[in-house]
Structure 1
């Protein structure tokens, strides 16, 4: 019988000795005040600091959020990636960074449901808390929606990347931009036209960023669903999480019957957004991960309906 050889355990220094071994030192004598009222407040120093700042704040802040949707699941939890900012006059050295997180956590404790109304209130309250004339909150999050196979009706979840940007200005009020990035299938019209059979197809990404009118009512319209519909209804075919063979046949044939260049996609989506009464300005872009190239194909349109021109 083979016996495992047991080696004696090494006697280690104490944890305190180990810390000292790796560079820890005893605390030095403290001479600076510990009371907040007696501490230096560099951020609130008032001098001429040369330039106003357009943006100062914090970014890449991840916090749990809840989302409402007209599509299943109607109520869902997600992770929001936040950016908070305001302007800063040249007479102030710095902003109060801790106040951004203080307010976010207060909203979180109350149950931060990501609605436009809540974000508008957040931006106005943030400006007041910072004692500034403006404040902006931006949040990006994955939004999940149910998608069923066109033949089997078997369901699964897709997701799109959504974002909201709310800016409050004391003199002008609040403006709201929303954006959605969704994946689609595109089939190349040129490939279909010149080939004896088949055509190359690929996954495309449609990104839409719109400015909402002041009278937009989120209780009547789910902007996420509307933008998703604009992207998918103009694609060669939709993306599906679950496809059985009859589903795959239908999706493949649908793509063949609806060939699209990236140029076609952005023009068709732009037409849908142009017809929406609550959209005042929009940007649409499409990026195809070309299946027969190493490079991507891209196209974009920016249009201001109030000025009636392409930028």
Structure 2
């Protein structure tokens, strides 16, 4: 906050941002980017977990205004120190548009989310981290929010298994799932859905019997990158909670210096 000059009243300080701009050019997005803020998010097993989110907050600026009030974005963010859910995230969108007097606005929130996993044989417990994002847009009072999660998994090449006498090459893959839902869905539900469709899921910690198990499980469940996205899409098509989705898979190839990639996008509400 900038203090008023000695002898000047605060209400006399010029509001330059609200002054008229004569260039007649609207700005699609203006705001703050890459601001870190502590948040609490719902956790299926623990009730909630504390994490640090990276926020981007933007509004549309009409052609006749010189600038927006950047401090108001931070003020709004500081008002939402309580548990973040899809509902409260949408409330934040609405308040941002109202406070900034904007017809349209966007908020993006990305944070690490931790899940306690149990190794399949030894039972040893460890944490796995996933990148989760909430992305919201509002225009003329109508808001849309999507939840996105990046799920690292193992994929084993069906072709390599078929043609090789000894083993098959596999790789770590990132499956990115973004959904728009009509009711509450746990982040863990999305993670579980993806991991069940992979050659094998990942764990933070494995003992030797666990390593044997996951190696053999991947060998018994080969997946092309095309298989990965089709399997996940099939499950989402059958889930009535999901209105729209985008599923992407990037396989970081172990025998090539490039990735394999596939994407499926669908709006189940479209007629």
TM-score range, shorter chain: over 0.9
Aligned match of 1:184: 153
Could you say which structure has the higher strand fraction? 2
CA–CA separation in structure 2 for the residues paired with 1:135 and 1:148: 41
Secondary structure of the residue aligned to 1:119 is: helix
Aligned match of 1:163: 133
Unaligned runs of 5+ in 2: none
Aligned match of 2:71: 98
Does the CA-based 8 Å contact 1:175-1:212 persist in structure 2? no
Paired residues in the alignment total: 268
1:69 equivalent in alignment to 2:32: no
Does the CA-based 8 Å contact 1:49-1:93 persist in structure 2? no
Please report the TM-score for the alignment, with normalisation by the length of structure 2. Answer: 0.92
CA–CA separation in structure 2 for the residues paired with 1:256 and 1:50: 61
Please report the TM-score for the alignment, with normalisation by the length of structure 1. Answer: 0.81
CA–CA separation in structure 1 for the residues paired with 2:222 and 2:87: 40
How far did residue 149 of structure 1 move? Answer: 0.7
- Larger Rg, first or second structure (1 or 2): 1
Does the CA-based 8 Å contact 1:33-1:39 persist in structure 2? no
How far did residue 155 of structure 1 move? Answer: 0.6
Secondary structure of the residue aligned to 2:93 is: helix
Give the counterpart of 2:250 among 275, 287, 292: 287
1:271 equivalent in alignment to 2:234: yes
Aligned match of 2:25: 51
Q: Deviations over 1:25-56 (max 9, x none)?
A: xxxxx989854333332211124431222211
Unaligned runs of 5+ in 1: 1-29
CA–CA separation in structure 2 for the residues paired with 1:96 and 1:105: 15
RMSD of aligned alpha carbons = 1.9
How far did residue 283 of structure 1 move? Answer: 1.0
